[in-house]
Structure 1
Amino acid sequence: MQSTINYLWHTDDLLGQGATASVYKARNKKSGELVAVKVFNAASYRRPHEVQVREFEVLRKLNHQNIVKLFAVEETGASRQKVLVMEYCSSGSLLSVLESPEHAFGLPEEEFLVVLRCVVAGMNHLRENGVVHRDIKPGNIMRLVGSQGQSIYKLTDFGAARDLEDDEKFVSVYGTEEYLHPDMYERAVLRKPQQKAFGVTVDLWSIGVTLYHAATGNLPFVPFGGPRRNKEIMYRITTEKPAGAIAGTQKRENGPLEWSYTLPSTCQLSLGLQNQLVPILANILEVEQAKCWCFDQFFAETSDILQRVIVHVFSLSQALLHHVYIHAHNTIAIFLDAVHEQTGVEPQHQEYLFEGHLCVLEPSLSAQHIAPTSAISPLTLFSKASENPKGLAFRDPALDVPKFVPKVDLQADYSTAKSALGAGHQALRLARTLQTGQELTLRGLYWFVEMLQSTCRRTLDIIQMALLFLGSSLGTERCSSVAGAPELQEVKKAAELRSKLQTLAGVLSRCSHSVRETQLRMSSLSAELLESRAQVHADRSIQEIQCCVDKMFVIYKQFKKSRLRPGLNYNEEQIHKLDKVNFSHLAKKLLQVFQEECVQKYQASLVTHGKWIRVAHETRTHLRLVGCSVSACNTEAQGAQESLSKILDVLSGQLLQDQTKKVQASPPLTAAYPSPEPEDLIVHMQELCENMKLLAFDLLDNNRIIERLSRIPSAPGI
């Protein structure tokens, strides 16, 4: 046990160790509060006094939620060693998070954004106080879990920090070689004499390497065999890197250097975030300090990312989920352009559904009017242009599963198990993503088919209303009696118009029959979609993969523990061999389930989805043609009715005049078949006119409804 006047710790509670100090978990003697104490060793006291006190002075003037707090500076009892009492972060460092097999391929997007936000905020506080850190790396970024379960990352270890303004330089070398700026690497690691001075932008290089590491799980610059095996090649990679490249590797000994301008496909970050992040990495991983961004540019660009909101968009035609990063104050037109950039779907071809309902996006409005979305509740994008769904492209996790060496090698077996378990976690993530993709595809298509069926019902209602009024007007005896007077030219015209209305009624009847057939097909497709969704929900492949991963993790933990031992006795070695066999069987089973139960089903679902999406496109086109026919029929019927109404007005006037003359010129005669009284005929004609006017009004109203529906840009099936 060791202690200061207020704090107590045991040397077994080691949190970290460096060249000049060790960090322990300690407790306050009175309150029991957990803290971290940094105890300096003898080597630290051989440094110049101003260097020894520099860390205290820097920490005393810093006060920020993303920088580990300094509580006190005390001394141990007898040896009087200096002790920094600091905030304790119970969840380790960012490095320990990245070394977990679960994050072998980098952090999830949400967690990466937390890291970015915290690092940017902490670095901004350092620059506001004129401090350069000089040892930024994942091991010096501590993680704390907040009261609501959220991650909080804090910069720590200011042993290399010093005061330095933007226009000042320094010549001393500090830092960890994988994260060092190439100019510092040349002198500190390669021991080459050079007279270069360094500015604050060396921290930007270290931040770039750290962010790449957090996003991918790997370092950006890796010579064959690793960064510390061939230091000359490591230096070549960083200094020969072309402009715009963010990573460089050497895949075989003495092989060529290969450059990458994008993040790897195994990265968990969305394309939307990658498009924002890659230019930043390219401009801070710049070896020439004159070309490298300054901190103001870095803060401006990273803040721009962090201030954006994410709109989740699931492209139904592509069967892909996209994260679209926009500012809340942007217009929807900017959002539509961003969707076009990621999906290739032109803004005029974009139609949206949200939670089963039409989502009309007015380009001139603010993006704040877009409903809040999530990965499981995105906007569903339907493209008017038909295309084959491409689905999710991914690297097969089997390519990242190494094999154990035959002999017992505790360190090698641990490394192999860690890599294989990392690939297992990747397979589990991919399996979940593929299943979610199937669910979103089936759900979105089901919603769209329901919208088409709704369109069928509306169209049938309009047709039935038109047929009802056409039938009632064509079947009236008064219209037939007028049409039976062939000696009048107007009556012949009325008969022609009546025949035209009958023809239009026939067209509408055929449209009605076609729409009913379409409705039946859509009902059948809805049933298929519901059945497929039930099959996806009943699939247990993810649970099988999770079970394999859990069992592999137990063996991995044992290997991690065994590697610290000098050796195993005979029985322990036999158990170790059996664990290797079991681990290999579990990895094989996991990959088999992934390929046969997840990938093959997913690929089959894409083929089926392609057929269904084509049916949906054809149905929508058909319903639009039917809608146009119904609209044209209504327009023609309206014109015919107006003409017929005018003719009937003329006929009623002529009949009235003729009957009046006959009554005045001749005495009343008794006819074998009495004709209707003139007054009755006039009344009948007037009633017919009124009926036809009502019919015209209804037809006009139906036509307006159809026109309004056809003008809605995001209304599928209209």
Structure 2
Amino acid sequence: MQGAGGSAREWNDGQNQYLSREGFLEEGGSRQKVLVMEYCSSGSLLSVLESPENAFGLPEDEFLVVLRCVVAGMNHLRENGIVHRDIKPGNIMRLMGEEGQSIYKLTDFGAARELDDDEKFVSVYGTEEYLHPDMYERAVLRKPQQKAFGVTVDLWSIGVTLYHAATGSLPFIPFGGPRRNKEMMYRITTEKPAGAIAGTQRRENGPLEWSYTLPITCQLSLGLQSQLVPILANILEVEQAKCWGFDQFFAETSDILQRVVVHVFSLSQAVLHHIYIHTHNTIATFQEAVHKQTSVAPRHQEYLFEGHLCVLEPSISAQHIAHTTASSPLTLFSTAIPKGLAFRDPALDVPKFVPKVDLQADYNTAKGVLGAGYQALRLARALLDGQELMLQGLHRVLEVLQATCRRTLEVARTSLLFLSSSLGTERFNSMAGTPEIQELKAATELRSRLRTLAEVLSRCSQNIMETQESLSSLRRELVKSRDQVHEERSIQQIQCCLDKMNLIYKQFKKSRMRPGLSYNEEQIHKLDKVNFSHLAKRLLQVFQEEGVQKYQASLVTHGKRMRVVHETRNHVRLVGCSVAACNTEAQGVQESLSKILEELSHQLLQDRAKGTLASSPPISPHPSPTPKDLLLHMQELCEGMKLLASDLLDNNRIIERLSRVPAAPDV
């Protein structure tokens, strides 16, 4: 940017949209330098984080936008040998893109200077909460030391900034706050154990508590947290020798930004997971990532997507996984116990108003309460979405089980039809009374076995029909439950309370800027405090009674339904195996029977040719068949058995094809 009477370096120089255009101007005859920055209409990242809606950090999508912009901007600075030296949320400006998306830009290069990776500097700049401990010791504590600083001081500031964006609070907080307890602040940052990403002192002169994970109130998914935490641990490192360099930082953050998200809802656990993978990864890599988050081993992972079974071949590319969303995820089956969404009760984070009128304190309290209220709203939505996903997943599992029942019933009925046609041959019954032909006794025994198999298949068919009715009843129950979830009004009630609280909060925000209030204004202010407290109490009551309690009840019901589905699924599988076994055995019996009849037919032909066909007195009231009739009937029966055996063989092929289709998984 070129100024009147002076020149300025344009850090952006048209090559990177994530750096603010700015430069120096020299004013008139005084020759005073003025830093001029690009106008960003939506405030800074700090103003975004100061909003009560983001009291516990940014939503995951917005955090990824911040990460992408900060990494891109810093990468451009390093390519040009620039160290910023004052990275913080207040120096990351926000503006809206043409399509309504956020764009964040690094700005305020007043403290920036050219510095290569192997160079050092000794001057101190920056904001104390975001300063590297070595710089903090000298700039804030005023302790004399001759340390020189390298480019990694920017990495420490980035680490604190990213933690702040992810959680809504600073990572290192002494009792009384960073500005009031500076010695303890320095001690926390310098005594931090390796791997820790946060440290807190909760009471005066109390012990330090270290955190190695992001807090449960954080809005980031566990999938993203598992990628982010190692980065924070390695750039929030005091010793510069142990701290990552920019090359590794860029490599690891770029790795996160290049991943895609696969949404996986564990139906048994009733938890939605975000799985971050590369499209070039294999399905096996995806399954291992699922294993880390769910503890379900890859061999036990079975998936359903939009009502269809998904067969994921471990060796193929993960890009073949269907496109998922939070409302339309892959559904994972396992035998785990439902545990549901883990969260912290927002009521624990609600501060109390002081009795007297203190405009600044009242504003801070209202802001804290409102932040807890927005957290309750997010959780209420998540709990409601969880109930919807539980019911949706169960409904789709029942559809798969119903389809399996229909196929099994079709196979059983087809087998029964074939067997009935075989057992209905009356003339064979009349032949069974011919004792001279011993083979007929074996044939009679085989037909008796076919009759037994037909009875088993009949019972299986009846069993499947009863199971279908049971599944239909459960489906009707699920539809009723889903209607109740859709009619839930707790979200609207919480939102209504928040809207009214917001109006009072904005008034408090204005009032704190005034030197004082008139008597009437003070009385109105007191009344507003009372109303604000009542609204907050009502909001939390709705959250607990309409949100949490109903969700917990739904988890209990879900667990019972899952047990029913699991038992039904195993039962359907056993019946299917019985039908398959009956088909296989029936095929063998028919083949044996056909062979016997062929032998009998052949023997009768030989005896007829020789004229030696034996005749014996009948042992039944039925007259003995003539040799001619016996021969013709044997030939007819033999052809019938061959046809029946062929039909059973076709039926068995159908069963084999069904067995190759993945069964409904263990739930």
TM-score by length of 2: 0.95
Q: Does 1:64 align with 2:64?
A: no
1:289 corresponding residue in structure 2:
240
Change over 3 Å in CA distance of 1:157–1:73 after alignment to 2: closer
> Which of 219, 227, 235 lines up with 1:276 in the alignment?
227
> Which of 350, 369, 379 lines up with 2:320 in the alignment?
369
1:15 corresponding residue in structure 2:
none
Distance 2:77 2:162 in 1: 18
Distance 2:12 2:400 in 1: 64
> Which of 352, 361, 380 lines up with 2:331 in the alignment?
380
> Which of 405, 426, 429 lines up with 1:456 in the alignment?
405
Distance 1:314 1:490 in 2: 62
1:390 corresponding residue in structure 2:
339
- The DSSP-based 3-state class of the residue aligned with 1:312 is strand
> Which of 248, 256, 262 lines up with 1:305 in the alignment?
256
Equivalent pair of 1:223/1:250 in contact (CA under 8 Å)? yes
- The DSSP-based 3-state class of the residue aligned with 2:11 is helix
- The DSSP-based 3-state class of the residue aligned with 2:351 is coil
Q: Does 1:324 align with 2:281?
A: no
Q: Does 1:87 align with 2:41?
A: no
- The DSSP-based 3-state class of the residue aligned with 2:280 is coil
Distance 1:207 1:467 in 2: 73
Distance 2:623 2:550 in 1: 82
1:342 corresponding residue in structure 2:
293
Change over 3 Å in CA distance of 1:85–1:345 after alignment to 2: same
Change over 3 Å in CA distance of 1:601–1:662 after alignment to 2: same
Query: Could you tell me how far 1:652 is from its partner in structure 2?
Result: 1.0
Distance 1:693 1:413 in 2: 93
- The DSSP-based 3-state class of the residue aligned with 1:59 is coil
Q: How does 1:677-716 map to 2 (within 5 A)?
A: 681-713=630-662, 715-716=664-665
Distance 1:373 1:82 in 2: 53
Distance 1:644 1:243 in 2: 79
1:600 corresponding residue in structure 2:
549
> Which of 72, 83, 103 lines up with 1:152 in the alignment?
103
Distance 1:484 1:675 in 2: 8
1:230 corresponding residue in structure 2:
181
- The residue type paired with residue 16 of structure 2 is H
2:190 corresponding residue in structure 1:
239
Structure 2 stretches lacking a partner, 5+ long:
616-620
2:349 corresponding residue in structure 1:
400
1:96 corresponding residue in structure 2:
47
- The residue type paired with residue 651 of structure 1 is L
Q: Does 1:656 align with 2:605?
A: yes
Query: Could you tell me how far 1:362 is from its partner in structure 2?
Result: 1.1
Distance 1:705 1:78 in 2: 95
> Which of 112, 119, 131 lines up with 2:70 in the alignment?
119
> Which of 426, 429, 445 lines up with 2:378 in the alignment?
429
Distance 2:432 2:178 in 1: 99
2:139 corresponding residue in structure 1:
188
Distance 1:674 1:221 in 2: 106
Query: Could you tell me how far 1:76 is from its partner in structure 2?
Result: 4.6
- The residue type paired with residue 134 of structure 1 is R
Q: Does 1:218 align with 2:166?
A: no
Query: Could you tell me how far 1:349 is from its partner in structure 2?
Result: 1.1
Equivalent pair of 1:623/1:717 in contact (CA under 8 Å)? no
> Which of 179, 184, 198 lines up with 2:130 in the alignment?
179
Equivalent pair of 1:709/1:715 in contact (CA under 8 Å)? no
Alignment coverage as a number of residue pairs: 661
Distance 2:613 2:138 in 1: 129
Distance 1:324 1:225 in 2: 39
Moved more, 706-715 or 159-168: 706-715
Distance 1:169 1:331 in 2: 44
Change over 3 Å in CA distance of 1:676–1:578 after alignment to 2: same
> What are the superposed Cα offsets for residues 59-100 of structure 1, whole Å, 9 maximum, x if unpaired?
375731100124x75455575644454432111100000000
Q: Does 1:420 align with 2:372?
A: no
- The residue type paired with residue 41 of structure 2 is S
1:636 corresponding residue in structure 2:
585
> What are the superposed Cα offsets for residues 649-705 of structure 1, whole Å, 9 maximum, x if unpaired?
011112223334449999xxxxx9987675665444333333322322332233333
Q: How does 1:494-573 map to 2 (within 5 A)?
A: 494-573=443-522
Change over 3 Å in CA distance of 1:84–1:479 after alignment to 2: farther
Change over 3 Å in CA distance of 1:678–1:192 after alignment to 2: same
2:441 corresponding residue in structure 1:
492
- The DSSP-based 3-state class of the residue aligned with 2:264 is strand
- The residue type paired with residue 210 of structure 2 is W
> What are the superposed Cα offsets for residues 24-62 of structure 1, whole Å, 9 maximum, x if unpaired?
xxxxxxxxxxxxxxxx9xxxxxxxxxxx98xx3363757
Distance 1:156 1:492 in 2: 99
Query: Could you tell me how far 1:715 is from its partner in structure 2?
Result: 3.7
> What are the superposed Cα offsets for residues 131-164 of structure 1, whole Å, 9 maximum, x if unpaired?
0000010000011111111111110000010000
- The residue type paired with residue 693 of structure 1 is K
- The DSSP-based 3-state class of the residue aligned with 1:288 is coil
TM-score by length of 1: 0.89
- The residue type paired with residue 153 of structure 1 is Y
Distance 1:211 1:314 in 2: 28
Query: Could you tell me how far 1:710 is from its partner in structure 2?
Result: 2.9
Equivalent pair of 1:270/1:322 in contact (CA under 8 Å)? yes
Q: Does 1:588 align with 2:588?
A: no
- The DSSP-based 3-state class of the residue aligned with 1:656 is helix
Query: Could you tell me how far 1:478 is from its partner in structure 2?
Result: 3.7
Change over 3 Å in CA distance of 1:144–1:665 after alignment to 2: closer
2:618 corresponding residue in structure 1:
none
Distance 2:39 2:130 in 1: 25
- The residue type paired with residue 169 of structure 1 is K
- The DSSP-based 3-state class of the residue aligned with 2:313 is coil
Change over 3 Å in CA distance of 1:660–1:403 after alignment to 2: same
Distance 2:631 2:254 in 1: 82
Distance 1:387 1:91 in 2: 46
> What are the superposed Cα offsets for residues 559-579 of structure 1, whole Å, 9 maximum, x if unpaired?
001000000001111111111
- The DSSP-based 3-state class of the residue aligned with 1:126 is helix
Query: Could you tell me how far 1:234 is from its partner in structure 2?
Result: 0.1
Moved more, 214-223 or 82-91: 82-91
Query: Could you tell me how far 1:713 is from its partner in structure 2?
Result: 3.7
Query: Could you tell me how far 1:290 is from its partner in structure 2?
Result: 0.2
- The DSSP-based 3-state class of the residue aligned with 2:199 is strand
Q: Does 1:257 align with 2:198?
A: no
Equivalent pair of 2:10/2:21 in contact (CA under 8 Å)? no
Moved more, 445-454 or 309-318: 445-454
> What are the superposed Cα offsets for residues 108-135 of structure 1, whole Å, 9 maximum, x if unpaired?
0111011111111110001111100000
Distance 1:369 1:517 in 2: 38
Equivalent pair of 1:656/1:678 in contact (CA under 8 Å)? no
> Which of 596, 599, 603 lines up with 1:647 in the alignment?
596
Equivalent pair of 2:12/2:19 in contact (CA under 8 Å)? no
Equivalent pair of 1:58/1:162 in contact (CA under 8 Å)? no
- The residue type paired with residue 19 of structure 2 is I
Change over 3 Å in CA distance of 1:287–1:664 after alignment to 2: closer
Distance 1:152 1:661 in 2: 103
Distance 1:717 1:450 in 2: 15
- The residue type paired with residue 69 of structure 1 is R
2:559 corresponding residue in structure 1:
610
- The residue type paired with residue 155 of structure 2 is L
> Which of 199, 211, 215 lines up with 2:150 in the alignment?
199
Distance 1:391 1:299 in 2: 36
Query: Could you tell me how far 1:454 is from its partner in structure 2?
Result: 1.2
Distance 1:677 1:586 in 2: 101
1:447 corresponding residue in structure 2:
396
Moved more, 499-508 or 705-714: 705-714
Q: Does 1:161 align with 2:112?
A: yes
